[in-house]
Structure formats: structure tokens, C-alpha cells
Amino acid sequence: MICNDQERIINIIHNNDSESKSAANELKKKFEANGFIISYSYNYCAELNICIGGDGAFLRAVHNYSFPSTPFIGINTGHLGFFQEVSPDNLDDFIESYINESYIIEEMFLVEALICTRTSCIDLIGINEIVIKGIESKVIHLNVSIADNYLERFSGDGLIVSTPAGSTAYSYSAGGSIIFPTVKVLQITPLAPISSKVYRSLTTSAIVHHNMTIKINPEYRDENSILMVVDGMEYKYDNIVEVNFKLSGMTINKLTLDPHNFWWNLKDKFI
């Protein structure tokens, strides 16, 4: 695609509820009044992606458009809205900051899983997390190694492997630690681990260095009892023999108006 450098294009991606549509229309008028071109269909020549909705809308947009390098910013018309930095009441301030380039671009790290069955391997990428869990809440048994060092025979509902951004999502609900978004690590958090005389599983999360691979080998009886969940989307594969997790070489860009916004957001959403 050949892009015209003279055109300043912005993609607006929004939910279909009335509040999101209203915010999208208001944003369109205000940006067009400042010389920008607004596209509701995804334009790969755009300089910014504005996602209007909740965190789910943000995650879907990034997945749907294959993790583009164009920065994302969110307008929150959802519930929690941890990714969504801007309120619909502050559109003028946002536009002024954007025009004056009063913002920074933060890299968001992604988690990658290579799932190998007895016949092939499949690659999955997550923004928040990739979860390996038992189908229909079945207890599963997983042999876990980190950087080729055997760690444990896990027994329980499953394991969450999350990014720093995902540390405030499912992992947090399961008792994981909160990690600042720019720290280059992965976190492995157990889901309902069994710890007894028979089964010995870690009951807390572990932080894993970005150069290390997390290898998980299901026991033979569990090869067909596993569900992979990527940012809330479920995938089922037969005869899984190994899953390797690592920090992806790919990142996405998030535009933020305040580098200290994470701590305010944390307090506002959770405390």
C-alpha cells in the first residue's frame, strides 16, 4: 500500500452501543475540524488507532488487525477500562495533547505460545495472557520447566502465562503480582493448584526473565483434555504434547498521555 504523507489519517474502531457511537461521532467532528481524515474501516496508512469501548474492544481490535505497529489509544465507554486511558468527557483535552504531541509511545510486550501436537505446531500470540487449562474444569497434570530446568509437576485447573499488561487482568484475579507495563518479563500464575502429600504444586505466581522459555508437557492422559485461552478466546487442539511460552519478538505500541497514569489507574480501578 502506498501512503500519502500529506494525509493525516486516524482509524476509529468502536463498539456498537449508543455511548460508543456518540463518542465516535463527536471525535470524528473534532478531528476533522483540525484537518485530520477519519476512517471507520481500517486504514493501514493511519497514524493512530482510537479504540472506543472497554478493554475487550481494545483486545479485539489489536487481534483483528494482526498486531499493527500503528499506536493505539482507548476511549473508555466500558466498565473497567484499564487499557482505555481517555474519558468521553475529556475529548478536547485529548485532541489538544495529540496535536501538540504531548504524549509518549509505550511498547506493550506480548506473550507467544508454540503448541505442538503429535502432528504439527501452532503459534498463538496474546496481549494479556495465554492460559492452559482443563476442559470442563477438569483437573490437569502438567510438567513445567523454565529455561530447561525442571520446576514442578503441576496439578490443578491450569496455568496463566501473562504479560506485564496482563498482570492486572486474569492473573491478578488468580492472585498474581502486579507488574509495571514496561518491565520485560512474563508471569506464570497457577489456577487452583493442588498441594498435598500426593500433589506438590507451587501455590504462588513466579516472574520469569524475558530470555527464558516456559515449557509445559501435559501428562499422556491429559493430552486431549486441554483448552488454550488467548485473551479470552478459546482454542482446542487434539494430542497436545508440549507448549512453549516466551516473550514475543513482536510488540504493539500504546499512546499514553501521562507516563504515571498506570499508578492512578491502578488505584482508581482496584482500590
* pLDDT of 211 over the 90 cut: yes
Q: How many CB atoms lie within 10 A of CB 120?
A: 9
Per-residue confidence band for 197, with pLDDT thresholds at 50, 70 and 90: confident
* pLDDT of 178 over the 90 cut: yes
Task: Give the mean pLDDT of the chain.
Answer: 94
Determine the residue type at 84.
Q
Least confident stretch, 44-48, 134-138, 204-208: 134-138
Most confidently predicted of 66-80, 82-96, 117-131: 117-131
Question: Where does residue 238 rank: exposed (0-12), middle (13-18), buried (19+ CB within 10 A)?
Answer: exposed
Q: Is 88 helix (H, G, I), strand (E, B) or coil?
A: helix
Question: Within 13 Å, how many C-alpha atoms sit on residue 259's CB side?
Answer: 7
**In angstroms, how far is CA 100 from the centroid of its own chain?**
29
The C-alpha cell that represents 58 in the structure block: 481494545
Per-residue confidence band for 17, with pLDDT thresholds at 50, 70 and 90: very high
| Residue 78: per-residue pLDDT | 80
Q: Average of pLDDT values for 42-67?
A: 95
Q: Percent of the chain scored above 90 by pLDDT?
A: 83
Catalytic residue positions, numbered? 55
| Residue 251: per-residue pLDDT | 97
Write down the residue that cell numbers 499506536 correspond to: 71
Rg (CA), the chain: 20
Determine the residue type at 218.
P
Interatomic CA distance for residues 189 and 126, integer angstroms: 15
* pLDDT of 185 over the 90 cut: yes
Tens digits of residue pLDDT in 86-115: 999 999 999 999 999 999 999 999 999 999
Interatomic CA distance for residues 132 and 45, integer angstroms: 36
* pLDDT of 153 over the 90 cut: yes
| Residue 259: per-residue pLDDT | 72
* pLDDT of 198 over the 90 cut: no
User: How do 158-162 and 129-134 pair as beta strands?
Assistant: antiparallel
Per-residue confidence band for 83, with pLDDT thresholds at 50, 70 and 90: confident
| Residue 22: per-residue pLDDT | 96
Most confidently predicted of 1-5, 148-152, 258-262: 148-152
Q: Please, what's the b/e burial string for 246-257 (b: 16 or more CB within 10 A of its CB; e: otherwise)?
A: bbbeebbbbbbb
Interatomic CA distance for residues 237 and 257, integer angstroms: 41
Q: Is 113 helix (H, G, I), strand (E, B) or coil?
A: strand
Domains and CATH numbers, the chain: 9-102 (3.40.50.10330), 110-250 (2.60.200.30)
Q: What is the pTM of this model?
A: 0.94
The H or E element spanning position 70 is none
* pLDDT of 241 over the 90 cut: yes
